[in-house]
């Protein structure tokens, strides 16, 4: 990830979406919300789960000990990026690459599932079944991001 693209618009620290009940931070993909991160935030729209960070001053971070998740942001192809963020292009490409890979795996699952019934050799059948279940495991890994519809 190219780390020089930040234009310091500050939008990512003003619009942080949380699921407090399940302690999920959606800001940089789905991450578990920890107490350190939670303690920095105040509600903007608590009903919709939107928070902002108290350390943001004049669009700049004033937290000298900012959490690792801040130092890494955006690190996930599923990061929720504001319109003003200059990482949008890069994250879009990473996101599309993953979707492309998942679509290829799905095609292979369909292909192997179709030919498996035409094979009489049990060993070959087992091998194909193993490939199918390995592919499905990878597809499932992205279920939370909607992989079943890609």
- Interacting residue with ligand SF4 among 1, 3, 8, 126 (CB under 6 A): 8
Q: Which two tokens stand for residue 91?
A: 């994250």
CB of 17 to ligand SF4, least distance (A): 13
Any contact of residue 63 with ligand SF4 (CB under 6 A)? yes
How many residues form the binding site for ligand SF4 (CB under 6 A)?
A: 21
Q: Are strands 50-53 and 16-19 parallel, antiparallel or unpaired?
A: antiparallel
Rule CB under 6 A: is residue 105 a binding residue for ligand SF4?
no
- What does the DSSP 8-state code read for residue 82? -
Phi, psi of 101 (to 5 degrees): -60, -45
Residue with smaller CB distance to ligand SF4, 45 or 126: 45
Considering only residues 113 through 142, tell me which ones interact with ligand SF4, judged by CB under 6 A. none
64 secondary structure, DSSP code: T
Q: Which of 24, 29, 50, 55 binds ligand SF4 (CB under 6 A)?
A: 55
CB atoms within 10 A of CB 18: 21
CA angle 77, 79, 82 (to 5 degrees): 130
Binding site for ligand SF4 (CB under 6 A): 6-13, 40, 53, 55-56, 61, 63, 66, 70, 82, 84-87
């Amino acid at each position: 990830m190219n780390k020089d693209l930040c234009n310091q618009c500050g939008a990512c620290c003003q619009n942080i979406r949380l699921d407090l009940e399940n302690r999920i931070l959606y800001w940089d993909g789905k991450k578990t919300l920890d107490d350190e991160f939670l303690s920095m935030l105040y509600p903007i729209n608590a009903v919709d789960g939107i928070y902002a960070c108290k350390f943001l001053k004049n669009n700049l971070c004033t937290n000298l000990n900012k959490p690792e998740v801040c130092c890494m942001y955006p690190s996930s192809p599923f990061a929720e990026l504001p319109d003003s963020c200059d990482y949008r292009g890069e994250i879009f490409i990473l996101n599309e690459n993953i979707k492309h890979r998942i679509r290829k795996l799905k095609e292979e699952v369909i292909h192997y599932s179709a030919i498996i019934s035409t094979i009489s050799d049990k060993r070959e059948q087992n091998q194909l079944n193993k490939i199918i279940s390995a592919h499905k495991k990878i597809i499932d890994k992205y279920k939370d991001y909607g992989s079943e519809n890609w």
